[in-house]
Amino acid sequence: MSPSSAPTRLALLLSGAAILASCSVGTAAPPPTPTPTKTPKPTYTATTTATATPAQPSTATATPAPEVPPTDTVTATPAVPPTETDTPTPEPTDTPSVPPTATFTPGPPPPTNTPAPPPTPTPMPFQYTGQVIWDEGSANCAFLEIRSASVITDTAGNPVNDVCVCVNLFDNILKSWPSGPAAPNYKDPGHYDISPVLPYPDNISVNAYVCDCSSGAPANSQQVQIQFESQNCSPGQGGHQSAIVNWTKHW
């Protein structure tokens, strides 16, 4: 171990101190009996010797600072006092009122005329129906009659032959000859007559009807009233002495 080591130096220092202490006393004392001392094992502490390291040149690269965009600086603008403006108040304009325009609203449409259904034909209660006609030839101052202008036809207007007509005169039955040209009548087709009904003009009312040519019994016939008159019997006076009585056969 090198003398310059720390434990060696420590041991030498202790020995030197003991010698100096014995020399300072006048009588030599017996040398002390050395007591073995357990010297602790020295602890070695590593000592770092600073070595001067030459400074290295800086290798830092100059990084340019990022460009900061300029910040808008708000500049306080002094408030400008409002300028009072003398605005004239407009005068009211006299606008003439416009009369309301009449709006024509059409009314509801007229009701639709629904045609009424045709009437149901009423069954004819008689096979023969009659009609009394007075005309310019009806004046006759000689007698009352149903003259030969009277005719019997069907519903189509065709003459019907061999039909007889009866008149009830004061409960006496007067009967015509069969209608048409057969003897002894010799009339136009469908025509007949009863002449005279009464041999002089008179104001009487009689009933006429179609009847059976043999018995004179009423057929399925309407009874027609004939009102005879005695006055105005001269031609052109409109008297009712010579009647026309037409008949229609319905089936």
Res. 173: pLDDT tops 50: yes
**Contact assessment for residue 234 and residue 132, using Cβ atoms and an 8 Å cutoff:** no
Residues 138 and 230: their CA atoms lie apart, in Å, by 12
Between residues 143 and 41, the one the model is more confident about: 143
Confidence tier at 78 by pLDDT (50, 70, 90):
low
Q: What is the DSSP letter of 244?
A: E
Residues 177 and 163: their CA atoms lie apart, in Å, by 8
CATH class as words, domain 128-249:
mainly beta
pLDDT at 6: 62
**Contact assessment for residue 112 and residue 218, using Cβ atoms and an 8 Å cutoff:** no
Residues 229 and 238: their CA atoms lie apart, in Å, by 10
Question: DSSP secondary structure string, 7-47?
Answer: HHHHHHHHHHHHHHHHHTSSSPPPPPPPPP--PPPPPP-PP
Confidence tier at 164 by pLDDT (50, 70, 90):
very high
Nearest to 244 by CA among 141, 135, 164, 128: 135
**Contact assessment for residue 216 and residue 186, using Cβ atoms and an 8 Å cutoff:** no
The residues, ordered by sequence, that sit 6+ positions from 126 with a Cβ below 8 Å of its Cβ are: 220, 221, 222, 250
pLDDT at 108: 81
The residues, ordered by sequence, that sit 6+ positions from 45 with a Cβ below 8 Å of its Cβ are: none
pLDDT at 138: 98
Nearest to 242 by CA among 223, 160, 230, 153: 230
196: cis peptide before it, omega within 30°?
yes
pLDDT at 2: 46
Question: Mean of the pLDDT values across residues 29-50?
Answer: 48
**Minimum mean pLDDT range among 36-50, 161-175, 196-210:** 36-50
Q: Is 152 helix (H, G, I), strand (E, B) or coil?
A: strand
Residues 19 and 73: their CA atoms lie apart, in Å, by 90
Confidence tier at 114 by pLDDT (50, 70, 90):
confident
Q: What is the pLDDT of residues 224-235, one digit of tens each?
A: 999 999 999 999
Question: Mean of the pLDDT values across residues 8-26?
Answer: 58
